[in-house]
Amino acid sequence: MNKLALVFPGQASQYVGMGKEFYEKYPVAKETFDAANEILGYDIKKIIFEGPLEQLTQTKYTQPAVFVTSVACFKVFTSNFRLPTSGCFTAGHSLGEYSALVASEVLSYEDALKLVNSRANFIQSACEKTKGTMLAILGAEKNEVSEICTEASNTGVCQAVNFNAPGQIVISGEIAAISKAKELAKTKKIKAIPLAVSGAFHSSLMKEAAEKMAEELKKYVFKNPKFPVVSNCDAEITTDGSKIPEKLVKQIASPVLWIDSINKIISNGCEIFIELGPKNIVSGMIKKISPQAKTFNIENETTLNTTLEALKNV
């Protein structure tokens, strides 16, 4: 089989009812969701399956919810498909990197969920203190976005933080500075879309959350990955588990280098990308980065069967 990459979504992919179809049909998915309630000490399953959406979109719930759903999708997939022993990569967009670490057996599901829960609470706390937001800049070159950020920085923190795909860069920072950046984009006839988020993710405003996470990560043991992990804070292949904690700390207050991460995987001969988790946002980004890549997403029975059938022929 050709080399393949397992990729996982991050925050913003959530929706009420995600993963429920797998929960009702596959014991391995049911176990994953039920265990989450025990690990977290509250009914995350109810929030995922029933909402309300306003609660599900709060960072402290969103991150565990997306993680749990993604791992459930991964477990359903691997109960129906034997992964190759070599030639497999894992990567996750921001929060999704924790799902990738479970897939690569760096962390157990329980430990990873505890860390995701801590991460979510640290980030939500930082968001409440700093009052930031984010803005998607579409159709612009890196240098154009850099110019906008530099000019808007006179008003406050304004940084390019998510390099998601060609022509799709997200900036993050203080509300006044991001508002200024939107105005500047408009004058340059560049499309800018405000994101419905509660804070300035991946910017320097998340420094306190990163510092708290650094202390939390010291409590856990990180094994060497079964499959190489591409970390999105530096787009490098990681095979040494001891180096992963520092990358998870850096990730919180540093840009997500998703374009570089995907290109790194492709440069190592990978042609197939399987997204495991809600929606297909990551798959869409990958198609923009590399139109020739074969992408699949697995979030329900239909997408699972489509992927399994396609994999018979590659």
Instruction: Give pLDDT tens digits along the chain (314 positions).
Output: 679 999 999 999 999 999 999 999 999 999 999 999 999 999 999 999 999 999 999 999 999 999 999 999 999 999 999 998 888 999 999 999 999 999 999 999 999 999 999 999 999 999 999 989 999 999 999 999 999 999 999 999 999 999 999 999 999 999 999 999 999 999 999 999 999 888 999 999 999 999 999 999 999 999 999 999 999 999 999 999 999 999 999 999 999 999 999 999 999 999 999 999 999 999 999 999 999 999 999 999 999 999 999 999 87
Are residues 121 and 254 both part of a single domain? yes
pLDDT of residue 196: 82
Are residues 166 and 192 both part of a single domain? yes
Does residue 126 contact residue 199 with C-beta atoms inside 8 Å?
yes
Q: Identity (one letter) of the amino acid at 225?
A: P
Does residue 214 contact residue 240 with C-beta atoms inside 8 Å?
no
Counting the structural domains of the chain, the total is 2
* Pairwise CA distance, residues 115 & 196, whole Å: 24
* Pairwise CA distance, residues 248 & 81, whole Å: 29
Token pair of 203 as six digits: 């910017």
* Pairwise CA distance, residues 152 & 174, whole Å: 10
Are residues 90 and 236 both part of a single domain? yes
CATH, residue 108: 3.40.366.10
Fill in the DSSP letter of residue 160: E
Please identify every residue annotated as catalytic.
94, 202
* Pairwise CA distance, residues 77 & 71, whole Å: 10
Choosing from 198, 214, 234, the residue where a domain stops is 198
CATH, residue 139: 3.30.70.250
Choosing from 174, 198, 222, the residue where a domain stops is 198
- Ramachandran class of 201: left when φ > 0, alpha when ψ lies in -120 to 50, beta otherwise: beta
User: At a CB cut-off of 8 Å and minimum separation 6, what does 40 contact?
Assistant: 64, 113, 117
Please tell me whether residue 132 adopts helix, strand or coil conformation: strand
How many other β-carbons are positioned within 10 Å of the β-carbon of residue 107? 24
Buried b (16+ CB within 10 A) or exposed e, 150-189: eebbebbbbbbbbbbbeebbbbbbbebbbbbbbebbeeee
Q: What is the pTM of this model?
A: 0.97
* Pairwise CA distance, residues 73 & 115, whole Å: 19
Are residues 89 and 220 both part of a single domain? yes
Are residues 23 and 108 both part of a single domain? yes
Does residue 77 contact residue 34 with C-beta atoms inside 8 Å?
no
Range of the domain at 163: 132-198
* Pairwise CA distance, residues 31 & 24, whole Å: 11
Does residue 106 contact residue 220 with C-beta atoms inside 8 Å?
no
Choosing from 172, 198, 224, the residue where a domain stops is 198
